[in-house]
């Protein structure tokens, strides 16, 4: 009973100070757009603009045929030039941002104006668009992962996926069991995600400590490389108990719940890129420092 009471109280704390879901990603209720795409790549804007001018006035099959001819004769992209510029079905998130923005704003059977990317200048042609529910992409990817998993891993994955975030208490208790010992009582984040905290290193003589934060996402989030859906993630932080600051040192995504299944990306900024953040009261950073450091340590200046 005491454990349950502590859990229910902890769920009402205000968290977190950090955004755990990158902006621009799609959740499982969204649609994933794809486009049958062709392009011609040039070394300069002048070359791209001149080639674009040769296509003015052409429409329909004539425009498509001329675009193919142009790609075979002029494109600097060795991978697609021989195919008339054919890139196949391009999904959102696969191309660099300038290319993707122009691609999905382009009416079908038309040619873009010259588009600059880090690779060169492009003319883009789209023959058709389609949309696929993100939930279908998630289920297909996860099904492949489960089939390839070892028997014990397969069982744990299936057990984790039987948990429904909307069931709250049952979901919380199920995730707690799967995570095992060493994690604190679950907290409810500002976005409704379930957050667990674990002190991985207690303060040393300099006041340095480390904390890992595990988050269960209420909605699966689509990642593009590989194309799969992230359901849980872990953030590792370094703490300075004397300065009362925290710095993100790793962000790891998992296809399954409770940190199970494939790792979907792992970002570890270099020491020079880490930006320590001073904790404000009643934030996740503040709670991490309280859990790892206990009472505030005196500063080195005394």
Contacts (Cβ under 8 Å, ≥6 apart) of 258: 156, 160, 175, 178, 179, 216, 232
pLDDT digits (tens, 9 = 90+) for 157-213: 888 878 878 777 888 898 999 899 999 888 887 778 899 999 999 999 999 999 999
CA-based nearest residue to 199, from 213, 185, 178, 215: 213
Domains and CATH numbers, the chain: 2-29+137-293 (2.40.128.710), 32-132 (3.10.50.40)
Report the alpha-carbon distance of residue 20 to residue 7 in Å, rounded.
21
Mean pLDDT of the chain: 84
pLDDT digits (tens, 9 = 90+) for 11-66: 333 333 333 334 357 888 888 899 999 999 999 999 999 999 999 999 999 999 99
Contacts (Cβ under 8 Å, ≥6 apart) of 136: none
* pTM, to two decimals: 0.69
Tell how far CA 63 is from the center of its chain.
38
Extract the tokens encoding 47: 């070359």
């Amino acid at each position: 009973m005491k454990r349950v009471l502590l859990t229910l109280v902890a769920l009402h704390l205000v968290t977190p100070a950090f955004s755990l879901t990158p902006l621009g990603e799609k959740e499982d209720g969204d649609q994933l757009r794809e486009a049958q795409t062709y392009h011609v790549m040039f070394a300069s804007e002048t070359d791209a603009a001149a080639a674009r001018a040769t296509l003015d006035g052409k429409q329909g099959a004539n425009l498509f045929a001329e675009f193919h001819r142009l790609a075979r004769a002029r494109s600097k992209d060795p991978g697609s030039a021989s195919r008339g510029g054919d890139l196949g079905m391009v999904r959102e998130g696969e191309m660099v941002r300038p290319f993707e923005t122009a691609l999905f704003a382009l009416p079908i059977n038309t040619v873009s104006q010259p588009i600059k990317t880090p690779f060169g200048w492009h003319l883009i042609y789209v023959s058709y668009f389609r949309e696929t529910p993100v939930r279908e992409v998630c289920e297909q990817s996860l099904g492949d992962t489960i089939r390839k998993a070892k028997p014990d891993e397969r069982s744990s994955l299936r057990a984790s996926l039987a948990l429904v975030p909307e069931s709250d208490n049952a979901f919380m208790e199920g995730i707690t069991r799967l995570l095992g010992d060493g994690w604190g009582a679950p907290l409810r984040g500002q976005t409704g995600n379930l957050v667990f905290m674990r002190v991985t290193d207690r303060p040393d003589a300099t006041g340095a400590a480390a904390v890992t934060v595990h988050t269960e996402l209420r909605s699966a989030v689509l990642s593009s490389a590989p194309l799969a859906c992230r359901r849980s993630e872990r953030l590792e932080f370094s703490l300075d108990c004397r300065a009362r600051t925290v710095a993100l040192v790793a962000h790891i995504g998992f296809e399954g719940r409770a940190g199970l299944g494939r790792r979907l990306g792992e970002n570890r900024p270099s020491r020079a890129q880490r930006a320590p953040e001073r904790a404000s009261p009643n934030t996740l950073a503040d709670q991490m420092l309280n859990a790892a450091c206990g009472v505030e340590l005196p500063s080195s200046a005394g």
